[in-house]
Structure 1
Amino acid sequence: MGPVWEKAQSYIAAELHLPDPQTIAFAPNTHDFLIRIVSAIPALPVRVLTTDGEFHSFRRQMDRWAENGEVILERVAVDSLVDRASTGDHDLIFASQVLFNSGTVLNGIEKLADIARPEGPWVVIDGYHGFMALDTDLSEFATNIFYMSGGYKYAMAGEGVCFLHAPTGFAPRPPITGWYAAFDDLSLPPGEIEYAPDGRRFLGSTFDPSGLYRFNAVQAMLSKEGLSTEVISNHVANLQSDFIAQDPLPGMMLLNPIDGKPHARFLAYQSPNASALHAALTDHKIVTDVRGDVLRIGFAIYHDMSDVERLIAVMREFR
């Protein structure tokens, strides 16, 4: 496990500009990390501040904990998160780097990091739609925030390879734990509960490591081909701009317009017709995604202008 693990840590640390690769732990999903982080917060109920645009996994778990009285949950609009967080009324502040539904990019991570303390509050950034989609430099505040993500999206590594950057001094002994968290101390007498001093303190137990092999293989390929996050993002941004310039969906609202700032890898269009358009595109073997009344259109490194033109042509047929 060692060489494969360490290589994956080094790739992630380089991508995020983390000063120490050993702050990174792996798990099959980010939910594993969420429950370990929350288990380590001594307050009960845990006061949680988050946005109103978080993914289903986090939202469902928080709603259930709130229903059970273990969490006091406060949701705010993403643009008011930093101001609300500054009041000091919370134990955990959780926000996505890119909101999965609208494509809104979180601003003010550095301000949230200034608020974070080992004694609380803790700040967790969910980077699932940001990792390898946005150039992300955590070097200035890596010592203060948790950052978790996975290889299922833009890292192109499929399921089962998620990771957590855990800052030193925060949650040294998560109560929900597995035997991997003490891998260095397996020879200790029974009854002594020790933890790894680095990110491995957040490990669980045995898991399928094939995701790590896939992740490392993809990272090696991207490096060989010179396909950095910046290169791919610029390619995607050009396709997005060309698509928008032709005004293909005049009856739909673009929730995340291109404004020269970091942008999600997808365009999010809101309309009552989102589901119908999604179905029509599927009939033409064009894959998009619909969440409620929001149609998400993703461009990638394997698309070019011919794909954009075909998409627009099919959309005009539908209109």
Structure 2
Amino acid sequence: MKPLPHKSEFFPFNSTYLNSGVQHPVSKGCVEAANEYLTYKGFHTDINIDPFALRKEVLGLYAELINADPVDIAYVQSTTVGENLIIQALDLVNKKGRVVTDDLHYFGSYQIYGELQKQGVEVITIRNKDGAIDLDDYKRAITDDTDLVAVSSVSTFNGYQHDLKTLCDIAHKHGALVYADAIHHIGATPFDVKETNVDFCSAGTFKWLMADQGLGFLYVKQGLLKSLKRPWYGKRQVKNLVTHVFPGDDITNDQNIYEYELAETAEGYFSIWSEPRIVMAQLKYSLSYLLETSVEAITEYRQPLLKKAREEITKLGFHCLTPEGTITPLLAFECENATKTLGATLKKANIQASLYKGHFRIAFSVFNDMDDVDHLVNTLKSVRYAE
């Protein structure tokens, strides 16, 4: 693979795209893979794709990316579906369990734990300090009756990266399990389930895995399945099935219509049946691309971009909300009513970034370079000078 940046892998941008933290562009290779799959679905006789082989291959590629065994990974519909399934599998409501989380967790997860509280689950939410989480606060909050610690291993707000291994060590000493929302981690910054010893993690495919929406992966550490309650049931979970209803079957007059055995794998607990195979086709390309390029190389490449952007934008008076030393792709800066203050100017300059009521966020990927940083900084200068 040629050195980064990889601009030619993607279609020409009509803007400076700094918004991969919302939706990562799909590459030319992904588009070709999707088109090939659609052609196959049109029953084109010259193209033969085995969807079951594709499914298995993509699961293996993802397992390699996070250093896991494929049997410990299940396809799910999204990151949040994965988190909900783990909560159901832990039976937290019936147990009146206890959860510890923090305010840098994904904002879409707050509704999960807010509703759990209404149903009798104790939820402790740790506050960040200057955009980071003090692990001493977790040490104080996690007790022997804590069931689950739930975090975003990389925060969508500002790119803060948890010391996941240390957090898992703290939790495990008290018998608590750890779930990580890793959608902003996997594919962007090195992630190893064995090294961190995380119990559960899930990640959707439309951000740093560089495919489309509608699919995600859920990892469950080996040895935990038998302690979990199956949250739902479906055909994908069946290992062996014998029917007593169709022509050719051994049909009897009793109620023995189906005989089946459920698989003791992550898929056997958490998958149902239908997944968007066109996204799998994209993932076959994008996961191979990430493995070939290496997430380590991608992380190293963007560090000078992050450094210059942080320094130059801070000089303009925008307070950086991302802690020093953070190596993930996201940088957030405080800006009052950023949507109104920066929206028109960035649009005129053909810059795409994430704008919110009190801050803005940029994200660097494999196609960004120093020209993108310079263009953003010069555009922000024009805003400051206008003030």
| Residue 83 (1) aligns with residue 139 (2) | yes
Q: Which residue does the alignment assign to 1:295?
A: 360
Q: TM-score, with normalisation over the residues of structure 1?
A: 0.87
Kept in 2, the 8 Å contact 1:40–1:175? The answer is yes
SS at match of 1:306: helix
Quote the offset at 1:191 in angstroms: 7.8
Quote the offset at 1:303 in angstroms: 1.4
1:123-202 matches, cutoff 5 A? 123-142=178-197, 145-172=199-226, 174-187=229-242, 194-200=261-267, 201-202=269-270
- Share of identical aligned residues, percent? 22
Q: 1:213 to 1:97 in 2, by over 3 A?
A: same
Quote the offset at 1:317 in angstroms: 0.9
Q: Which residue does the alignment assign to 2:306?
A: 240
Kept in 1, the 8 Å contact 2:164–2:196? The answer is no
Larger Rg: 2
Kept in 2, the 8 Å contact 1:52–1:75? The answer is yes
Quote the offset at 1:310 in angstroms: 1.3
| Residue 210 (1) aligns with residue 278 (2) | yes
Quote the offset at 1:242 in angstroms: 2.2
Deviations 1:158-197 (A, max 9, x none): 2122101111232435342131442323337568784321
Amino acid at match of 1:148: S
Quote the offset at 1:288 in angstroms: 0.6
| Residue 27 (1) aligns with residue 94 (2) | no
Task: Give the whole-Å Cα distance in 2 for the aligned partners of 1:190 and 1:236.
Answer: 58
Higher relative contact order (CA 8 A, sep 6+): 2
Quote the offset at 1:106 in angstroms: 0.5
Quote the offset at 1:141 in angstroms: 4.9
In structure 1, list runs of 5 or more residues that go unmatched. none
Alignment match of 1:306 (pick from 371, 380, 386): 371
Amino acid at match of 1:47: R
1:62-101 matches, cutoff 5 A? 62-67=113-118, 69-77=119-127, 78-80=133-135, 82-84=138-140, 86-101=142-157
Q: Which residue does the alignment assign to 2:61?
A: 11
| RMSD, aligned α-carbons | 2.6
Kept in 2, the 8 Å contact 1:41–1:171? The answer is no
Task: Give the whole-Å Cα distance in 2 for the aligned partners of 1:13 and 1:110.
Answer: 23
Give every structure 1 segment of 4 or more consecutive aligned residues whose post-TM-superposition deviation is greater than 6 Å.
none
Task: Give the whole-Å Cα distance in 2 for the aligned partners of 1:257 and 1:38.
Answer: 30
Amino acid at match of 1:211: V
Kept in 1, the 8 Å contact 2:225–2:266? The answer is no
Deviations 1:104-124 (A, max 9, x none): 11014344256349x952211
In structure 2, list runs of 5 or more residues that go unmatched. 1-50, 128-132, 244-255
Task: Give the whole-Å Cα distance in 2 for the aligned partners of 1:140 and 1:34.
Answer: 21
Kept in 1, the 8 Å contact 2:83–2:202? The answer is no
Matched residues, number? 311
Q: Which residue does the alignment assign to 2:87?
A: 38
SS at match of 2:195: coil
Deviations 1:25-48 (A, max 9, x none): 011112222222112224532311
SS at match of 2:239: helix
